[in-house]
Amino acid sequence: MSASHKEILKLAIPNIVSNISIPLLSTVDTILMGQLSALHLGAIGLGGMIFNFVYWNFGFLRMGTTGLTAQAYGAQDDYKLGVTLVRGMLLALLLAIIIFITQGWLLEAATWFFAVQDTHAPLIAEYFTMRMWAAPATMLMYVFMGWFFGLQNAIYPMIITIIINTVNIIVSYLLVNEFGMEIRGVALGTVIAQYTGVLLCFVAVAYKYSRYIHLELIKAALKISELVDFFKVNSNLFIRTVCLTFVFAFFYRESSIAGALALAANAILLQFVNWMSYGIDGFAYAAESMVGKYAGAKDDSNLTQSVKISFLWGLILAVIYAAFYYIFYDQLLHLFSSDNDVFAFALQYKLWMVFFPIIAFACYIWDGIFIGLLAIREMRDSMIVALIVFLSVYHLVKTADPLQGLWLAMFSFLIVRGLLLTLYWKNVTVRKSLI
């Protein structure tokens, strides 16, 4: 096993462990609500998607922080390492305040966009309002995690994420089953867990990385010239993330319009997608860290090798996921819901789930590579084109079978993204300003 393989596995395995614990959390929430009623099952799926529609759009905080930190680490620029964290934290708190102030408008807009049925609306409002209290913690967590990844440290994020999700699962279970809080219980469990995670992040920085942090960085973080570059990276990432979030939001919206049964079934199937994406993202996050480090160090040879190794391991994991879904699909459906109608409805989508990892893995790996290179414009442009293709395909086929059409459109979206990023790669590699 070459040094590059050892390096990526050292980063990827902790990422995979921590990432897989994330969908485990939403899986437990889904199971807890699924045992109550199909109405609760649909509400937690749709409510979670509405909330993710808000939060995922700010995932650029983690991605941008990782890319900037990794390149500073490769260049051995201690000043930039510290100022990137402080600047990211200040932006995170500002965004959290904005989100909290506008929460009422956000809920109304999301309820309209997702065409939330009257039966689901009260449950979703309870969930959303309670979880909103975690906004500052969630925004800060994005920055801390990105900073750790950029420093080539995947162990701290793994430990912190596992603790967060363990706390979340235990507290949610107790609040739902022992205190009868139902959907408010899973929301409050998330709030408590998120603040636990932020506290652990502060402790981790103070313990190992305090040499990078000092009061003068607050003033330095507000330098106009550096802020322009910082916001240029993050604004393009924001546009890219909004497009991606819109695709999944639209998917949930059309499922909701199709009725409670379709919504419940697709809520389960998208949990399968979460399992796959968070696993393969382990290698994508590793690619962010490695590629960013070698880009900062101007080491083109190791950078190119990192790209090849990332794709190899991404493909291996995608094949494992595909085989797992093919063999255990029925059992997984029964795990999520005891409703026979939901099971029968979801059964017809087995092949979509089996082939999803094979089709999707390239997009995830390319994202990690381009983030490490800070080639954000290319990511943005490919996502916009893929979104247009997604909507066009769905519009063409929805009259024949709208739900099957959703999955066809999703596959088209993934294929276009993967192809465009592959084509962009040659251009990126010859742009010395990026490497």
CB atoms within 10 A of CB 403: 17
Whether 73 shows a pLDDT value over 50: the answer reads yes
Cα 384–Cα 390–Cα 392 angle in degrees, nearest 5: 105
What is the pTM assigned to this prediction?
0.85
Most confident by average pLDDT, 15-24, 75-84, 211-220, 332-341: 75-84
Q: Tell me what the pLDDT averaged over the chain comes to.
A: 87
- C-alpha distances in angstroms, 14 versus 38, 157, 279, 362? 35, 8, 11, 20
Q: Label residue 192 by pLDDT band (50, 70, 90).
A: very high
Least confident window among 113-117, 267-271, 349-353: 113-117
287-302: b or e for each residue (b if 16 or more CB lie within 10 Å)?
bbbbbbbbbbbeeeeb
Residue 433 is predicted with a pLDDT of 47
Task: Count other Cβ atoms within 10 Å, centred on residue 210.
Answer: 9
Domain ranges of the chain: 3-429
Max CA separation in the chain (angstroms): 62
Among residues 185, 228, 233, which one has the least CA distance to residue 68? Answer: 233
Instruction: Between 1 and 339, name the one with better pLDDT.
Output: 339
Average pLDDT over residues 276-298: 92
Residues 6+ apart with CB under 8 A from 85: 65, 69, 143, 144, 147, 205, 212, 213
